[in-house]
Amino acid sequence: MQLEVFVTIAYSVVLLVTGFGVMHAVEPDHIVTLRSAKNFNTVWKFALSHGLGFLIIGIPIVLILGYLPFLDIAGDIFGIGISIVFLYSLLANKEIEFGFKTGIVQGGLALTPSKVLVAILASDLGLLNGVGLLLLFTVVSSLTLLLVGKVLPNIPLRITKAFDILISIGAIAYLVYVIVR
């Protein structure tokens, strides 16, 4: 029974992180960057450098939260707060981001709710699984950036907003569950 619950939770987290990867790739600043790209080679460079930047910052966060257990509950509570801020930003049509605006630096140091939530979710699952989730987020986000760079003119923004809202609510539910269990 416990194994079934663990597997269900693991699948839920993988789905959330995959959703966050897609959501992150279609954030407005990325769409603007992709629209202004001179060619697909520029899109490739942006997608890869952006993902690498996130890994450079995300892995130490997973290590810190993973090895300092007293920060675990604080991280989950912070994650709920970030989820609420993210949901607000979606419903109010206001993008929230702090940091730099280009390449590896932007990928690592521009903090967005989706990046923070992925790092918090990853830290709850141990080092190897956590790094695996960071890699999943990075791969999904980078591949989505590449795909969006190809098909951008055909994507209605209302579709991505509904998807983002569902993922935000899912993150809040998961983090509340983690705290309560």
181, exposed or middle or buried, with CB in 10 Å at 0-12, 13-18, 19+?
A: exposed
Which pTM does this prediction carry? 0.68
- Per the CB < 8 A criterion, the answer to whether 82 and 133 are in contact is no
Residue 35 contacts by C-beta under 8 Å, 6 or more apart in sequence? 152
What confidence score (pLDDT) does residue 90 get?
73
Condensed to tens digits (0 to 9), the pLDDT of residues 78-103 reads: 777 777 877 787 788 776 654 445 54
Condensed to tens digits (0 to 9), the pLDDT of residues 48-69 reads: 888 888 888 888 888 887 777 6
Terminal-to-terminal C-alpha distance of the chain: 15
Region 14-39: mean pLDDT is 79
Condensed to tens digits (0 to 9), the pLDDT of residues 124-165 reads: 777 888 889 999 999 999 999 999 888 765 666 666 677 677
Region 12-38: mean pLDDT is 79
